[in-house]
Chain A
Amino acid sequence: MNLGFALGHLMAQAANTASWWKPIQASAHASSVDSLFNFIMYLCFFFFVLIIGAMIYFVVKYRRKEGVPIKTSPIKGNHTLEIVWSVIPGILLVIMFAWGFKDWLAIAVVPANAMEVRVTGQKWNWTFTYPKEGIVSPDLVVPAGQTIKLVMTSKDVLHSFYIPDFRIKRDVVPGRYSVLWFDPAEEATHQIFCTEYCGTSHSNMLSKVKVLSSEKYEQWIANGGEEEGGAGGKPIPLAEKGKKLYESRGCVACHSVDGTAKVGPSWKGAYGTAHKFADGSSLASTDENYIRESILVPGAKVVAGYPNVMPSYQGQLNDKQIESIIEYIKSLK
């Protein structure tokens, strides 16, 4: 019994670093959710020990013994007791409800000064669009200390946007917009998951929240959403940049670079080789034009034997990025 409480206490204390069973508390909301979590947890420990303790005690005490005549109590019920154990849990349940409702209302209403970022979910990656700056990014890059409002929609099926460190989650639904907000306090990187099952690579539909200081964030905006390189740093070879895009923009979910066929054909050696298409036509040698078309209008020519499931990247990759990807594919001999 004491062990349970001690364990619970230990768990509750390890709040601001990720423990083996809980993510860090990255915002005020996260810690208030955890307070309610702990309140319910302590109550649960209490009732669990009460119920199971009584059960074990009764089993030991009233266990049938050989040779002792069996006589049992004629008790059929006890109204006082029954009322007590209905009313007390009832009151506690109302408290839990009210507390959860209060915290939840707080995140249901978006603060007025929030900075807006558009989120698009599609099989199987996230895209973040900064409407004012016109920047499109695979990661959610935000300045510390600024309230962020996410306006989210899906291109295909249901997804759900989840950041454990902020204790927030919201379904992303095709054909409508859903809203979510959070307050990133400190510079850090947080994991984003998709939590509504969405098919083959559901478990690879991951992304990151990168909380930067406001100076670094300004820098990032000034670089047009490119993290390193550009202005101050050394220029990066296009192929290398393409590799980064391959990893960050969801290509990796369906295309391998080692020759194995996944949802889509492998990129290894794809450039310059012949392809047969589902509609019967063929291409003698894969060139820049075909790759570009496949990125922007994936359904136009689908390689035979593969399903026509790739979403269009029209508007999500700019010309420079498409070129980088082409260079990367070229480099995969």
Chain B
Amino acid sequence: MDSNRNSAPKSAHAASAGGVEPNYLNAHKGIWSWMTTVDHKRLGIMYLVGILTFFAAGGIFALLVRTQLLGKIFGGPGKQDWLFSGDTYNKLFTLHGAVMVFLVIIPSIPASLGNFFLPLMLGAKDVAFPKLNLMSFYVYVLGGCFLLFSILTGAVDTGWTFYTPYSSTTSTSVVSAVMGVFILGFSSILTGVNFIVTIHKMRAPGLTWTRLPLFVWAQYATSLIQVLATPVLAITLMLLAIERTMGVGIFDPKLGGDPVLFQHFFWFYSHPAVYIMILPGFGVISEIITVNSRKQIFGYKAIAMSSVAIAVIGFLVWGHHMFTSGQSELASAVFSFLTFAVAVPTAIKVFSWVATMYGGSIRLNSAMCYALAFLFLFTIGGLTGLFLGSLSVDIHLHDTYFVVAHFHYVMMGGTMTAFVGALHHWWPKMTGRMLSEFWGKVGCFFVFVGFNITFLSQFLLGTKGMPRRYANYLPEFQTLHQISTVGSYLLGLGFLITLIYMIQSLINGEKASKNPWEAMSLEWQTDSPPIEHNFHVQPVVKHGPYEFPEIDHSLARGGH
């Protein structure tokens, strides 16, 4: 597994040092050069720092929530609030959800790694609109500030879904939070526009659509959803803000509105948003598994097209969040059917990833460990979705911990595992340093085990009937809750270990070569870290992204 370690990083480094050309990190100096940069790589790094900061904050909120749910350990059952009052608890889970969804998971892979690597993978010097890209970043910061302002002025207690009429009547600072999410939406839209144009117009000579790395395909599908779905969320939240400030009856039945309308509006965005969150993860996994198996991806076209299929069908399933809310029977039936339909392209992807490993030569580095963890966790997340897509079973499980566990398996076990895996995969390219393989695997182990303990127990809580968003609970749920909380501490420990060895790597990590994983896509053909304008000479592409030299073509048509 460590054979790549000794594969001549020194000579590669010497070559780039001989070139004298400064890399993107030291081409310009000073904080101002970062604040005003239009370099997609620097913007990617700035997003990454922001996202990881918010991830830490959201994680702390989650740990506080889980600690409350230990229940009163000493002296009696968990019936009573013991650490926080109901109000404080409600704010904590709302902040956890809003920060994680809008500030972490949605921008996670696209804004940080997408910004950094999309142009590199395309052989371009930058994204199509670098200034717009800088603006997106500041819009993101501004949106974050609004959310922060909301926290400082008393926070919100509506849940991240902002359901009306609770959100139009509660006394907490909903308007600034909603405006924050509104603004973040525009950051997401502008990034999406930028990426679509970049993929269409900025590909290097010879880089045809079927030679694109699958990460690029996934980004493409994601960007389409970002551009098409986010405006509807924006207008919904604007209407909610208008309702609150001016007393207009759009969603509040007391003023003549319709509360279920909000749910339609909200999920019309927020279900596709789930695919904004997971599709880039799919892209990352396709890259990590192929590079570390030294094989062509199994069914390139099927995987690429299933991303697009998921993006399209994903627009038509929002009603499966509303089986109990009183939409028409016909609507529920159609949404249920389409929900099952979206499972097919997802299954195709999972099968194809596993099949890719067949006959390969698998290098178990920490990125690959995260990819395997992703397969394990995402498979559980996907399969448990079937319970929720099925009408009669969903009636029982809706708004219980089963749902909580399901989407954490998809969002956290899926997207965040892929994100952390991607950080391990591309870390050498971004920073020019290697990460500790040993500690990488230790961290991965804690994350994996902690995650499963935390959320498997929540599936059982859900089937037992434990509703979500409860500050306390009946005694019969306490054991499972306590197991879950212990798991969450292990999970937190895993991420803490990861943070520590990442900092260590920045300080005195081993220098990385150009291409430590011997990948074939374009981002690995330039220096680590890349020079300011990405490539010394314009690359010309002559083969697909996964045509590794180890592939034994003499075996073709034989033996399989």
- Across the interface, A167 reaches (CB within 8 A) one of B301, B362, B396, B460, namely B396
Main secondary structure of the interface of B (DSSP, over half): helix
Q: Are B298 and A77 in contact (CB under 8 A)?
A: yes
Q: Is B399 an interface residue (CB 8 A)?
A: yes
Q: Are B348 and A64 in contact (CB under 8 A)?
A: no
Shortest C-beta distance, B295 to chain A (Å), equals: 5
C-beta contact mask, B518-559 vs A, less than 8 Å → 1, else 0? 000000000000000000000000000000101111011000
Shortest C-beta distance, A77 to chain B (Å), equals: 4
Shortest C-beta distance, B462 to chain A (Å), equals: 9
Q: When chains A and B are docked, how far (Å) is the Cα of A107 from the Cα of B323?
A: 13
Shortest C-beta distance, A91 to chain B (Å), equals: 10
Q: When chains A and B are docked, how far (Å) is the Cα of A203 from the Cα of B480?
A: 17
Shortest C-beta distance, A209 to chain B (Å), equals: 13
Shortest C-beta distance, B373 to chain A (Å), equals: 11
Q: Are B324 and A160 in contact (CB under 8 A)?
A: yes
When distances are taken between beta carbons in the complex, the residues of chain B under 8 Å from A197 are 90, 158-159, 163, 166, 468-469
Shortest C-beta distance, A263 to chain B (Å), equals: 8
Q: When chains A and B are docked, how far (Å) is the Cα of A37 from the Cα of B299?
A: 33
Q: When chains A and B are docked, how far (Å) is the Cα of A229 from the Cα of B258?
A: 45
Q: Are B357 and A55 in contact (CB under 8 A)?
A: yes
Q: Is A234 an interface residue (CB 8 A)?
A: no
When distances are taken between beta carbons in the complex, the residues of chain B under 8 Å from A71 are 361, 550-552, 555
C-beta contact mask, A11-33 vs B, less than 8 Å → 1, else 0? 00000001011110000000011
Q: Are A44 and B259 in contact (CB under 8 A)?
A: no
Shortest C-beta distance, A116 to chain B (Å), equals: 18
Q: Are A72 and B3 in contact (CB under 8 A)?
A: no
Q: Are A63 and B362 in contact (CB under 8 A)?
A: yes
Q: Is A321 an interface residue (CB 8 A)?
A: no
When distances are taken between beta carbons in the complex, the residues of chain A under 8 Å from B341 are 93
When distances are taken between beta carbons in the complex, the residues of chain A under 8 Å from B254 are 174-175
- B386's nearest neighbour on chain A, judged by CB, is A40
Q: Are A82 and B299 in contact (CB under 8 A)?
A: yes
Q: Are A62 and B358 in contact (CB under 8 A)?
A: yes
Q: Is A324 an interface residue (CB 8 A)?
A: no
Q: Is B514 an interface residue (CB 8 A)?
A: no
Q: Is B86 an interface residue (CB 8 A)?
A: yes
When distances are taken between beta carbons in the complex, the residues of chain B under 8 Å from A158 are 163, 165-166, 259
When distances are taken between beta carbons in the complex, the residues of chain B under 8 Å from A81 are 355
When distances are taken between beta carbons in the complex, the residues of chain B under 8 Å from A200 are 85-87, 90, 157
Q: When chains A and B are docked, how far (Å) is the Cα of A20 from the Cα of B457?
A: 11
When distances are taken between beta carbons in the complex, the residues of chain B under 8 Å from A54 are 354
Residues A52-85 near B (CB distance < 8 A): 52, 54-55, 58-59, 62-64, 66, 70-78, 81-82, 85
When distances are taken between beta carbons in the complex, the residues of chain A under 8 Å from B396 are 33, 37, 164, 167-169
- Across the interface, B465 reaches (CB within 8 A) one of A48, A89, A164, A204, namely A164
**Can you list 16 A-B contacts (CB < 8 A)?**
A32-B392, A47-B379, A55-B357, A55-B376, A62-B361, A70-B550, A71-B551, A82-B348, A89-B344, A104-B392, A164-B464, A169-B396, A170-B326, A174-B253, A178-B326, A262-B85
